[in-house]
Structures are given as C-alpha cells and as structure tokens.
Amino acid sequence: MLSKRIIPCLDVREGRTTKGIRFKNNVDIGNPVEMASFYYEAGADELVFYDITASHEKRNIMIDVVRRVAETIFIPFSVGGGIRDVNDMRNVLLAGAEKVSVNSAAVKNHEIISQGAEIFGSQCIVLGMDVKYVGESVKIPSGYEIVINGGRKYMGIDALKWAVEAQKLGAGEICLNSIDADGTQDGYDLKLTSLISKNVSIPVIASGGAGKPEHLCEVLTKGKADAALIASMVHYGTYTVSKIKKYLDSCGIKVRKSW
Amino acid sequence: MIAIIDYDAGNLASVERAVSYLGFKCIVTNNIKTIDSSERIIFPGVGAAGAAMDSLKRLGLDSVIKQAVIDGKPILGICLGTQIIMEYSEENETPCLKIINGFVKAFPPDIKSKDGSRLKIPHMGWNGLENIKKHPVLSDLHEEDEFYFVHGYYPYPTDSEHILATTDYGISFASVIGFNNIIATQFHPEKSGRPGLSLLKNFCLWE
C-alpha cells in the first residue's frame, strides 16, 4: 500500500536556506545542498524547495542549487517560488527537479498550469496554494481565500474553487499552505486540508503549522492529507525524519521505513 | 557504454545522473548506431503512450529496441518505457512494441483501499513490492524496501511468467515485468533512494 510522504521544506534565499514565521523575519539556517543530503540520508520521502530570492537578477543562483541537489540525492524534489512561465519551469526541471510548483503566477494566469501539464506532464506540475481563513461569505463560500505574493495580496478567490479548477487545468498535485498556521508549530489546519483533499482526486500535501509528530498524525488521518510538509521541527534538530516516521508507524500510519 | 534512449519522453537527466553516480558510463541518445553498439540499454520515459510511440517510430527507434531484445542485450524499461513494451495501451488507444504479451490498463476511477477509503489517481509516491521472483537485478532487495511511483496506467502481462513482482494499490498490479534479457519497472529506480540505486547497479552488472 502507498506510504504517506514526509517532506522537509527548505526556503532558499540567494543560495542559503532560511526560515521565517508567517512569511516574515527570515533567518539563515544553512546550505541547502548539505541540508538536502542530510534529509535524504535521514529518510525524507521527497523535498520541497522554495526560492524566496527577491531580486530577479539573482535567480540563477537557485538553478545552480537545484543542479547540485540533483547530483546529490536520489529521491524526488520540487522547486517553486517565482515561477512565472513555461520557460522558468523548463529551467528548474532541466536542472534536475522532478516537479515544479506554481503559485502566484497560476492565480494570475491559469494557462501556465495547462501549458506546463501539456509540455512536461501533469506529474511535474504542483499547484502551490497560500490560503487564509477570512470567514464564509457569498464571495468566499468555503471561508478560505487565496492570497498571493508571499501572503500579501488577497485575491477574492475561494480556495476550494481554485483547487478544483487547477486540477481540471492539469495540476498533478496540490501543496496546500495555511498562512494562519505557517511557522506557528501549533498544528496543521485540519479543516482546510480535509476540505480540499476530499474534493480533488489529486494528492494533497499539507503545509504550515507542524510542530510535533502528533500534528502529522492528525493531518494524515483526520486531515486526509497524502503527504505532510515539515520545516521548523526538523530544521532546528528538535525532531528527525526517522523519529517522526517511527511515531507515525506506531499510530498505524503507513510510512516508508527502509532507506 | 549504456545507452539511455532519448525519444522526447520527459527529462532523462535523472536516469543519467543516477547511472553516472554509480560509476557506469552512459549516454542519453537517439542515435541508432550508438544504441546498436551499446552494451546495454535503458528505456525510460514519462508522458503519454500515444506521443511516445509516435516519437519512437519517427526516430526509427522501435525496430532498434526490438532488435536489441532479439540480440540478447540487457534492457531496462522504466515507467512509460515499461508500458510501451507491451502489445497495446489503453492510453490514447495506442498499439505498442509487442515485446511482452499483454496490455496497459488505466486504474479504475473508483479505486479503493482495503479499509474502503478512496484512492487517488495517479498512484504517486512510495510503495513496496510483493511476490518478488528470483532475478539477478532484484537480488539485493530487503523486505521493507519501497520505490517511487508516478502513474495512472499499469502493465498487465497475460503470461504470469512475465510478472517479476507486484504492488498493491487497491488492486495488485505487475510492477516489475520481464523475460530473458529484458526487465522493466513501473516505478522510478533513479528516484527511489538506496534500493533504487542498488537495482540500477545490479542491472548495470547483469550478464
């Protein structure tokens, strides 16, 4: 039977891994290639890299990081952040990423999903969604609104509607990030995750809020997530991927135990 | 030299990187002479069966692969490469290479796990192998080893002799198939960590 995936997430700015809380106050926490190698050896099932480099001129630094990661680890990894068109997608895929994740650009231009899926295949295209709870309304029936540009711009789009639409356009997977939970280590947004996961047929990766193994257990069962993204809880050495997997295994969740 | 066949079906660099990492010489190529003179062949691929068969025919690679099977050259199929060696694929209703008897089926849309929960399609992520037959390429596997899969279709060989291992995803499907000098995996050994690399290494040394 398919295992639930545990996916460390690395935010990379100008070639260095950083970590912030609710998208702010980022601090340097290490070399992304060394961290990728560490998590690979520790049993991570996949990795996610977000390029949060602000300056467009310095974006080629990330391509070099991707290339070095691809030479070092032999598990899938995705790269997102600042992907604006099919050309940006091609660059990270050719550098060795298995998947590319689109977020703001896809909200502004839906066709980037269908174009990417047609050229590279749906399995390559991950839709990244940054979502904030704003209360249920006529415009936002689910109560969850899409926010772009790193959590700054509210789009007036319902998260559930967008997820279903993106699947139709050809997204192969959804990485669902709760801005309310991001960096808090208080647990994933279970309601949001199960709402989206139940209504799409593609896998959903839960993101934002992981602080202890119990949180992963909850989101992979009650939250109906297919995979769970983790950051702070492993970046600072509080937990290891292997320890988290041992805990999930003891809860009866199927995880990959041999690597 | 190992020829990794390039037929415009996805990014083949990850296979090349894994084989090079293991210390074997390889080349990504669609050149018929290069493939003919290679010691062994890796036939990877990601994408749709219809477009893949069109490319193979256009590049004249369909007959090269069939000849390599007859010549007894070791061949490893991966993912779409594994499906293309069957007779026929339901995907785009595509006649394929007919190297292994049987066809390629889509996972049923209402597929469920044993506990009754709905399973998502494509089958994406890590899964194990069952009913593993004795084979030099599969010799180093441990019981709990898992491999990385991404696919919505699966091979269905009509001769059970050709099924070398199965995987459970709502249904039990053939995840490793082969006979004589050909072995093919539905999963991606190049993305499957230690067990995947060990399988690739065994293939590169297989006589």
For chain A, domain boundaries? 5-250
Q: How far is B67 from chain A (nearest CA, A)?
A: 30
pLDDT per residue over A146-187, tens digit each? 999 878 899 999 999 999 999 999 999 999 999 999 988 999
Mean pLDDT of chain A: 94
Closest CA of chain A from B51, distance in Å? 11
Residue A184, Ramachandran bin (φ over 0: left; ψ between -120 and 50: alpha; else beta): alpha
- Tell me the pLDDT band of B9, cut-offs 50, 70 and 90: confident
Task: Please give the model's pTM, rounded to 2 decimal places.
Answer: 0.95
pLDDT of A23 above 60: no
Residues of A in contact with B195 (CB under 8 A): 258-259
Residue B165 C-beta-side C-alpha neighbours within 13 Å = 23
| pLDDT greater than 70 at residue A20 | no
Q: Please, are residues B79 and B188 in contact by the beta-carbon 8 Å criterion? A: yes
Binary contact (A259, B193; C-beta < 8 A)? yes
Confidence of residue A24 (pLDDT cuts 50, 70, 90): low
Sequence-ordered list of residues with C-beta below 8 angstroms from that of A131, at least 6 positions apart, any chain: A144, A145, A146, A147, A159, A176, A177, A178, A179, A189, A192
Note whether B27 contacts A: Cβ–Cβ < 8 A.
no
Catalytic residue among B26, B79, B96, B204: B79
How many CB pairs (< 8 A) connect A and B? 89
Residue A27 or residue A6, greater confidence:
A6
The DSSP output letter for A141 is T
pLDDT value of position A21: 58
Domain that holds residue B189: 2-205
The reported pLDDT for the residue numbered A63 is 94
Here the ipTM equals 0.94
Q: Which DSSP string do the residues of B91-160 spell out, in sequence order? A: GGGEE---SSSEEEEEPPTT-B-TTSPBPPSSEEEEEE-BSPPP-GGGTT--TTBEEEEEESEEEEESSG
Q: Which residues of B touch A68 (CB under 8 A)?
A: none
Q: Is A66's Cβ below 8 Å from some Cβ in B?
A: no
* Residue of B26, B151, B188, B204 marked catalytic: B188
Which residues of A belong to the active site? 11, 130
| Interface touch B125/A5, C-beta < 8 Å | yes
Question: Any catalytic annotation for residue B135?
Answer: no
The count of domains in chain B is 1
Q: Is the pLDDT of residue A25 over 80?
A: no
> pLDDT tens digits for B146-165?
999 999 999 999 999 999 99
pLDDT (tens digit per residue) in B13-30: 899 999 999 999 999 999
Q: How far is A95 from chain B (nearest CA, A)?
A: 9
Shortest Cα distance, chain B CAs vs residue A132, angstroms: 26
Q: How do residues B70-122 score in pLDDT, each as one tens digit?
A: 999 999 999 999 999 999 999 999 999 999 999 999 999 899 988 888 899 88
What is the domain-level CATH number for residue B192? 3.40.50.880
Domain A5-250: state its class: alpha beta
Q: Does A38 reach chain B within 8 Å, measured CB to CB?
A: no
